[in-house]
């Protein structure tokens, strides 16, 4: 059962590759995505399971388990993957070469499921690498020299980051009592205490390594390069889900291997918090300056995902709660934004922010979705983004080191202002161009607007009624600490 959500899209993806007929392929892709989502759902409903796939030597084995964090993540993946898959079909008809895109797209879902279900570091690393390798073709899809450069850059950063994490794990594994992920950490504390400096360096290295995927400084540079050249659905999942893969890996390392207790109050934690805050600020700054829409959104991702990391690194239940909420809401909102950007490209071929004056009149549905998502990203109530930011800020205020906590809050506010500064003008100028622009309505078809609508409604609804999600996270938290 554990294997089902992983293997189903992988083997299904092979058939997607081989299917030349477009309609059948679309149906196959959607069917597979739905089936995987259903399988993941069933798995979430079932009690926790675990499975050992193979053992090679000592700590070198592959194993899967479905713990609550994994389940949470699987739901998130399914929730994003489905609408984007629907959106991708008409978008690809516009760009061509759908066979290849949909094949890799389907297979990547399996890898993400595997990432969520991994029970130990080796398995996690395996799915992480495979995810990187399978998403590279999505970036490469455009078939231009720029796309190739971006793809290689993406690969290089991700592989090197994962490699850093792996290098750290070689050291870490000798201090673990249990190689599989254990809530609260698996460190052999007496032994670890003796080697605390070494382990803290290892923690720093591993977090920075996985942080590359999550767009954390200093290895964030791939994001703004890869997003503009990738097709919109690819950018959407890259930003919305793949970066969260890095976040998941960091959660696994921080809370399930090291344990919050061991790390709390260490210089490594402070250094990483500082890095995350720095990224939050820099990302927003760069987004403010950037004129290309997708690039601006990419910088926004850099900034927003680092909110998540900031929350995680506070090492308090409140911080984790804020982080998980932010992760979910950002995924939904940012995907909506990217899909909207894709729709704009399909309809008008506009990629530049300056070209977008009056776009709200041309494509009202798209831009309504866009506005909703933008408000959420900025963190304006009643959109969901507000809730996550609220929790993050309150967790930051409770942080032991006051100065760092207040600095964090200040950064959040500053960044929110800047976010407003780079997202709102698009909306405002889109709907109120000021002078009369010659406008003809050129909305994209319902198969593209529907996913956007669904997701932006989700953003709103979750903002209005966050209790269900809250409750779920509340049951989850004790297992993490």
Q: Which residues bind another protein (CB under 8 A)?
A: 54-60, 62, 100, 122, 125-126, 129-130, 133, 136-137, 140-141, 143-145, 147-148, 151-152, 155-156, 159-160, 163-164, 166-167, 170-171, 173-174
Kindly tell me which of 129 and 178 has the beta carbon lying closer to another protein. Answer: 129
Among candidates 189, 169, 188, which has minimal Cα distance to 178?
188
DSSP annotation string for 110-145:
HHHHHHHHB-BHHHHHHHHHHHHHHHHHHHHTT-SH
Q: How many beta carbons lie within 10 A of that of residue 468, not counting itself?
A: 10
Q: How many beta carbons lie within 10 A of that of residue 38, not counting itself?
A: 14
Inter-residue contact 362 to 439 (CB < 8 Å): yes
Cα distance between residue 15 and residue 30, in whole Å:
13
Report residue 222 CA to chain centroid gap.
14
Query: Smallest distance from the beta carbon of 356 to another protein, in angstroms?
Result: 29
Inter-residue contact 330 to 321 (CB < 8 Å): no
Among candidates 382, 349, 388, which has minimal Cα distance to 463?
382
Kindly tell me which of 163 and 425 has the beta carbon lying closer to another protein. Answer: 163
Which residue in this structure is represented by tokens 């450069």?
149
Kindly tell me which of 147 and 423 has the beta carbon lying closer to another protein. Answer: 147
Inter-residue contact 7 to 40 (CB < 8 Å): no
**DSSP letter, residue 354:** G
Report residue 415 CA to chain centroid gap.
19
Kindly tell me which of 171 and 472 has the beta carbon lying closer to another protein. Answer: 171
Cβ neighbours of residue 190 closer than 8 Å, sequence gap 6 or more: none
Kindly tell me which of 57 and 440 has the beta carbon lying closer to another protein. Answer: 57
Query: Smallest distance from the beta carbon of 234 to another protein, in angstroms?
Result: 13
Query: Smallest distance from the beta carbon of 84 to another protein, in angstroms?
Result: 21
What six digits make up the tokens of 123?
């398995």
CA-to-CA dists, residue 27 to 32, 291, 304, 447, 449, angstroms:
8, 37, 34, 14, 19
Kindly tell me which of 126 and 420 has the beta carbon lying closer to another protein. Answer: 126
Kindly tell me which of 163 and 433 has the beta carbon lying closer to another protein. Answer: 163
Query: Smallest distance from the beta carbon of 286 to another protein, in angstroms?
Result: 25
Query: Smallest distance from the beta carbon of 431 to another protein, in angstroms?
Result: 39
Query: Smallest distance from the beta carbon of 123 to another protein, in angstroms?
Result: 8
Kindly tell me which of 100 and 292 has the beta carbon lying closer to another protein. Answer: 100
User: To 10 degrees, what angle do helices 222-229 and 145-172 make?
Assistant: 140
Kindly tell me which of 104 and 310 has the beta carbon lying closer to another protein. Answer: 104
Kindly tell me which of 139 and 272 has the beta carbon lying closer to another protein. Answer: 139
Query: Smallest distance from the beta carbon of 13 to another protein, in angstroms?
Result: 15
Query: Smallest distance from the beta carbon of 159 to another protein, in angstroms?
Result: 4
Phi and psi angles of residue 230, each rounded to the nearest 5 degrees, phi first: -75, 155
Query: Smallest distance from the beta carbon of 458 to another protein, in angstroms?
Result: 34
What six digits make up the tokens of 422?
């780079």
Query: Smallest distance from the beta carbon of 12 to another protein, in angstroms?
Result: 19
Buried b / exposed e along 201-229 (16+ C-beta atoms within 10 A): ebbbbbbbbbbbbbbbbebbbbbbbbbbb
């Amino acid at each position: 059962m554990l294997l089902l959500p992983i293997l189903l899209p992988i083997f299904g993806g092979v058939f997607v590759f081989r299917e030349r007929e477009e309609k059948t392929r679309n149906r196959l892709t959607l069917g597979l995505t739905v089936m995987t989502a259903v399988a993941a759902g069933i798995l979430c409903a079932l009690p926790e399971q675990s499975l050992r796939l193979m053992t090679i030597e000592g700590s070198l084995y592959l194993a899967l388990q479905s713990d609550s964090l994994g389940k949470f993540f699987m739901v998130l993946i399914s929730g994003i993957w489905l609408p984007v898959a629907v959106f991708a079909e008409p978008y690809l008809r516009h760009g061509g070469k759908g066979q290849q895109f949909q094949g890799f797209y389907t297979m990547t879902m399996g890898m993400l499921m595997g990432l969520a279900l991994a029970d130990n570091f080796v398995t996690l690393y395996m799915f992480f690498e495979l995810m990187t390798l399978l998403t590279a073709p999505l970036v490469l899809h455009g078939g231009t020299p720029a796309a190739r450069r971006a793809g290689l850059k993406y690969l290089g950063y991700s592989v090197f980051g994962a490699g850093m994490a792996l290098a750290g794990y070689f050291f870490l594994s000798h201090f673990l009592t249990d190689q599989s992920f254990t809530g609260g950490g698996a460190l052999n504390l007496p032994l670890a205490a003796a080697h605390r400096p070494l382990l803290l360096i290892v923690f720093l290295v591993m977090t920075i390594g996985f942080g590359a995927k999550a767009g954390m400084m200093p290895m964030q540079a791939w994001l703004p390069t890869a997003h503009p050249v990738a097709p919109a659905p690819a950018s959407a999942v890259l930003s919305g889900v793949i970066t969260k893969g890095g976040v998941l890996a960091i959660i696994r390392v921080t809370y399930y291997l090291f344990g919050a207790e061991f790390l709390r109050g260490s210089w490594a934690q402070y250094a990483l918090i500082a890095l995350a805050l720095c990224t939050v600020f820099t990302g927003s700054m760069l987004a403010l300056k950037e004129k290309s829409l997708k690039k601006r959104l990419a910088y926004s991702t850099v900034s927003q995902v680092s909110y998540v990391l900031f929350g995680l690194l506070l090492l308090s239940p409140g911080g984790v709660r804020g982080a998980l909420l932010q992760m979910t809401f950002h995924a939904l909102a940012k995907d909506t934004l990217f899909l909207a950007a894709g729709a704009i490209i399909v309809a008008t071929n506009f990629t530049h922010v300056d070209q977008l004056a009056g776009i709200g009149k041309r494509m009202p549905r798209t831009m309504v979705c866009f506005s909703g998502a933008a408000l959420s990203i900025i963190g304006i109530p009643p959109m969901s983004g507000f809730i996550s930011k609220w929790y993050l800020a309150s967790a930051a205020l409770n942080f032991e080191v006051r100065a760092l906590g207040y600095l964090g809050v200040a950064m959040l506010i500053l960044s929110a202002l800047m976010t407003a500064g780079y997202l709102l003008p698009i909306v405002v100028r889109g709907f109120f161009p000021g002078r009369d622009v010659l406008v003809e309505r050129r909305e994209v078809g319902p198969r593209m607007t529907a996913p956007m609508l669904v997701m932006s409604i989700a953003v709103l609804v979750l903002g209005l009624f966050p209790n269900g999600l809250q409750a779920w996270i509340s049951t989850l938290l004790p297992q993490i600490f």
